[in-house]
Amino acid sequence: MKIIFLPLRPEKILSFAKTVPFITRMEQSGRRLAMIGLRRCIGGRRAKLATLIQDSRREWYTLHLIFDWINEQIQTYLQ
């Protein structure tokens, strides 16, 4: 087995390991809606996101199903 070393900067690792396969799968499947589990209470930039977002780079949408849920709602759902 040959190992290839990719000298990626830390900010590129996420893109290489997660973002690229996700985008490839969305494009191959023809799906136009991704349902993601981000929550507003986590803070940072997430607190300013809309629940439904159109991706300006591609022809699909992202829906944050549990965006406004609080911890107790998550626990109740999981039980």
41-68 pLDDT, tens digit per residue, is: 877 887 888 889 898 888 889 888 888 8
pLDDT(7) > 80: no
Contact present, 64 and 38 (Cβ < 8 Å): yes
Q: What does the pLDDT read at residue 77?
A: 85
Amino acid at 44: G
* pLDDT top residue among 20 and 15: 20
Instruction: Supply 54's token pair.
Output: 């159109």
d(C-alpha 58, C-alpha 28), whole Å: 13
Q: What does the pLDDT read at residue 3?
A: 58
pTM, entire model? 0.60
Percent of the chain with pLDDT over 70: 80
